[in-house]
Amino acid sequence: MDTDPVKITVLDDDAHGIPAAEYAETLRDRLPDAEVSLAKTPPQERRLVPDATVVTGATLGEDLIADAGNLRLFACRSAGVDHLPLETFEEHGVAVTNASGIHGPNVAEHVLGWLLMFTRRLDEGLRRQKRREWRRYPSFGELTGKTVTVVGLGAIGEAVVERLEGFGVGTIGVRYTPEKGGPTDEVIGFDRRDLLAALAETDFLVLACPLTETTEGLIGATELGVLPTDAVVVNVARGPVVDTPALVETLRDNRLHGAGLDVTDPEPLPEGHPLWGFENVFITPHAAGHTPRCWERLADIVAENVETAKATGEYDGLRNQIV
């Protein structure tokens, strides 16, 4: 058993709506025997990272990885790791974990908010309220009886499906390994024929998958054209999963009821981009994962892995380990 104190460096990041200082404090509470430091500036990063056993944050530059001779674990604060220099981490013997699972509840609630907004036309109610106009309008419908296709059955996708259970919807799940099954009524893989057949009967398409070679550009002109004209696309995955020009064209031609986009391509979305101009497109700035409780959930993962490593002497076989 390793008795030396673990040195943890928290890279400053307030992406979840609370300062990273509170994340660092939570780690101190979870790991009272560890030395937890907060790097607020690049000079502090350059000073603290070389001595750290564990670094946690959004990413870490290759130069800092090379200088971090004591680094054993990088705990990424996001579920997606496509932005990380994974090969460099592996070359230097640094384990990498992601934050899969910590965003499930809040992102799923974000998705449900949009589904209900579209279904009950709450956006029209807001517009009429702004005009102080008391005039009834027909509701778009009910979720009951609709078909929701969820692409990606990881923690977020499963959380979405779980929250849909009380609405009486039919669900189709799309995942890399359909043989694993899932919480949806039907599970398919990324076979193009199967996907197009599923899209043809989809009322709400929820994208909650990682960005990979398979999913980049997954929803393009053909896929959007197969969707029913009253369908809604919700993207809480990554912007490039959707072909943005094709989405704009489909919306302009009124061949889609609307879209809820927490991620876009490009991102940030430029001020003059046409997506801003559609009343039936709701946009949030990659904020669906924002909640203070994410830091608590991430601290739980990091603390569990540090305790495991202290007990075994190995940074391997850790929860959420990628490398």
In the chain, what are the domain boundaries?
7-100+290-312, 104-283
The reported pLDDT for the residue numbered 16 is 53
Distance CA 21, CA 51 (A): 19
Ranges assigned E (strand) in the chain:
7-11, 35-39, 54-57, 73-76, 95-97, 147-151, 170-174, 186-188, 204-207, 232-235, 258-261, 281-283
Given this structure, which CATH class describes domain 104-283? alpha beta
List, as one string, the DSSP characters of 150-165.
EE--SHHHHHHHHHHG
Give the burial string for 278-298 (b: 16+ CB within 10 Å, else e): beebbbbebbbbbbeebbbbb
Paired residues of 148 in beta bridges = 171, 204
The residues that are catalytic are: 238, 267, 286
The reported pLDDT for the residue numbered 78 is 85
The reported pLDDT for the residue numbered 1 is 46
User: What is the fold, at CATH topology level, of the domain defined by 7-100+290-312?
Assistant: Rossmann fold (3.40.50)
pLDDT by residue for the chain (323 residues), tens only, comes to 456 789 999 998 655 556 788 899 999 999 999 999 999 999 999 999 999 999 999 999 999 999 999 999 999 998 878 889 999 999 999 999 999 889 999 999 999 999 999 999 999 999 999 999 999 988 789 999 999 999 999 999 999 999 999 999 999 999 999 999 999 999 999 999 999 999 999 999 999 999 999 999 999 999 999 999 999 999 999 999 999 999 999 999 999 999 999 999 999 999 999 999 999 999 999 999 888 788 899 999 999 999 999 999 999 999 999 99
104-283 shares the fold of 7-100+290-312 = yes
